[in-house]
Amino acid sequence: MTRPPEDAEDRRAVAPVICYPTDALPRPDLAHYARARAGARPVAEVTVPPREAAAFRAPAGHFFRISCPEGAQVGDLNLFNAENPDERFYSGKTRALHGTHLSVGARMWSGFPWLRPMATIVEDSLDWYGTDAFGGRVHDVIGTRCDPYTHHLLSGGANYHHCCHSNLTRALVAEGFARDRAEALVHDVLNVFMCTGFTADTGQYFMKASPARKGDFIAFFAEIDLLGVLSACPGGDCGAEHSSDAARCHPLRVEVLAPAPGALDGWESPPPNGYDRSHGLPAGA
């Protein structure tokens, strides 16, 4: 280990600076969404089986609600523009803007060049959890998703076909995407109901048993026409491992709700980011 310099403590004492100050970030009108949600009616429902994934559609101006109908269950959520799946959820930028874990008022942003809100969290039955003694919090945008490639690497060569990456890929194939296209579209997720953090000593990503129970939910407002894909993680509540045929797993439920007529008068779907890249990027071939 390198010997610390004489001014080591001074260097450590330098105050941090927020990378992306969000004072100018457009704020969602949560009160407007709440009024629209009060009279919303269900128009579709999808059950995601344990250790599998399923797709759902949520038109712009609708709500979708993910819940645990039977017991604690972690889910991996991908979001796509229903008309152009190349526009998809960008977990890294969402994390930079809203922090490592999301709750009410946070938005799920799409990638470049669109960089606009895809969905806004409007209700969360686990918002009481806060930060526990281990630094754990709920609904993270830290983890990528459990996948068969990392599992193969760390397990000594075992093949496991129900990692969330595989589940999400199969769900897109069921929606009509070719296999290779589907796998390339699968992206880093919002881990709904998952309790995670970083260890204080080694900085490693950890998980612990989800605090979710039967009936817990998280609800979103669809800012654009969405194709969502949700995997019920093979780790169940992720209290022990996340790629397992032994963990107790439960289904997840997705409900799509339409607001009452006129409830969203004045609301408009956000346009793509206004940056003029014609002046900042090289011209196309």
Closest CA to 34 of 63, 66, 68: 63
Q: SS3 for 66?
A: strand
Strand, coil or helix: 79:
strand
Q: Which two tokens stand for residue 28?
A: 């969602």
172/161 Cα distance (integer angstroms): 15
Q: In degrees rounded to 5, what are phi and psi of residue 233? A: -55, 140
Rounded to two decimals, the pTM is 0.96
Mind giving me the DSSP string for 118-181?
EEEEEEETTTT----TTS-EEEESS-----HHHHHHHTTS---S-SHHHHHHHHHHHTT--HHH
Closest CA to 34 of 259, 241, 230, 238: 259
The residue behind tokens 């799409």 is 110
DSSP H helical ranges for the chain: 8-12, 30-38, 91-98, 148-154, 164-174, 179-185
Return the structure tokens found at 30: 């949560």
- CA atoms of 221 and 105, how far apart (whole Å): 10
Can you give the pLDDT of all 285 residues of the chain as single tens digits?
899 999 999 999 999 999 999 999 999 999 999 999 999 999 999 999 999 999 999 999 999 999 999 999 999 999 999 999 999 999 999 999 999 999 999 999 999 999 999 999 999 999 999 999 999 999 999 999 999 999 999 999 999 999 999 999 999 999 999 999 999 999 999 999 999 999 999 999 999 999 999 999 999 999 999 999 999 999 999 999 888 899 999 999 999 999 999 999 999 999 999 999 888 877 765
Closest CA to 210 of 121, 140, 122, 106: 140
Give the CA dihedral 129, 130, 133, 137, nearest 10 degrees.
90
Q: Exposed, middle or buried: residue 131 (CB in 10 Å: 0-12, 13-18, 19+)?
A: exposed
Residue ranges of the domains in the chain?
44-212+233-248
93 phi and psi angles, rounded to 5 deg: -70, -35
DSSP 8-state class, residue 26: P
Angstrom distances, CA of residue 276 to CA of 69, 84, 94, 273, 280: 46, 20, 21, 9, 7
